[in-house]
Amino acid sequence: MSDKSPLILAVDTKEIDRAKELISATRESVSIFKLGLEFFLAHGPKGVRDLKEAVGDFDLFLDLKLHDIPNTVASACKSVRDLKPRFLTVHASGGGEMIAAAAQELPETSITAVTVLTSLDTAALNALGMNAEIENLCSEMARNATSHGARSIVSSPQEVKMLRATLPSHIELITPGVRPSGSLSHDQKRVMTPHEAIVAGANYVVIGRPITGAANPAQAAREIVASL
Ligand code: C5P
């Protein structure tokens, strides 16, 4: 499917009916929908199939953030193959072999490596024995992931410019942590507007609550797309 916009909607709910409502309401301006652990652990692959059957096919960003030994990750990938996810997330910290195993198992899917979680700051990383600067860590993780078959990277908007300058141009950059100007930042820190993130080099922005929590999600999505 061709993209209607660079906006990916985070459908963060475990209620199937709510997910249907959100997708139906916003699909005139959004063509990629992110379903994560909350939905997937509650409903599994069948829930995703039921959703697609109810609202019509859509491009799926399956945010499972896999992180395990290569053999287990490959088997997990096999379990979701028939959902044909366009994007599937794995943790870059799982290492190159793990990422290669996922990419080999799902050649049609853009394996998306999550670099440093935006919830971790320098102190939290130091507590784990990781003493590198966040930007360096993110850069090394992204380089390693893409050289092992990841075709897209999730990072905070702060790292997008550096990643765009250092990674091959075919690697797609996806960033959450964006907020339209004037809207609440919720628990997201160091936010950028969607427009700023795209100017910095992001291919896609992932947005949830500013749309899912709006009185009129269709209008909120339209306004964000218009701002890009
Ligand atoms: O509601 P909000 O716009 O903050 O949603 C952002 C989405 O992106 C959520 O699904 C969240 O889990 C996800 N995400 C994030 N930060 C990361 C990785 C994923 O906010 N580093």
Evaluate if pTM is beyond 0.85. Answer: yes
pLDDT tens digit string along 9-34? 999 999 999 999 999 999 999 989 99
Mutate to test the pocket of ligand 1, among 8, 12, 137 (most ligand atoms within 8 A of CB): 12
Residue 198 CA to its chain's centroid (Å): 15
Taking residue 87's Cβ as centre, other Cβ atoms within 10 Å add up to 22
- 65 belongs to the catalytic site: yes
CB half-sphere exposure, 107, CA atoms < 13 A: 1
Strand ranges in 49-151 using DSSP code E only, listed in sequence order: 59-66, 87-91, 110-114
Asked if residue 98 lies in contact with residue 77, where contact means CB atoms within 8 angstroms, the answer is no
Q: Which residues line ligand 1 (CB under 6 A)?
A: 10, 12, 36, 117-118, 154, 176-177, 186, 188, 206-209
Check pLDDT > 90 for residue 132.
no
Out of 20, 65, 84, 161, pick the active-site residue.
65
Q: What is the pLDDT of residue 69?
A: 98
Mutate to test the pocket of ligand 1, among 156, 206, 224 (most ligand atoms within 8 A of CB): 206
pLDDT tens digit string along 140-188? 999 999 999 999 999 999 999 999 999 999 999 999 989 988 787 777 6
pLDDT category at 190 given cuts 50, 70, 90 is low
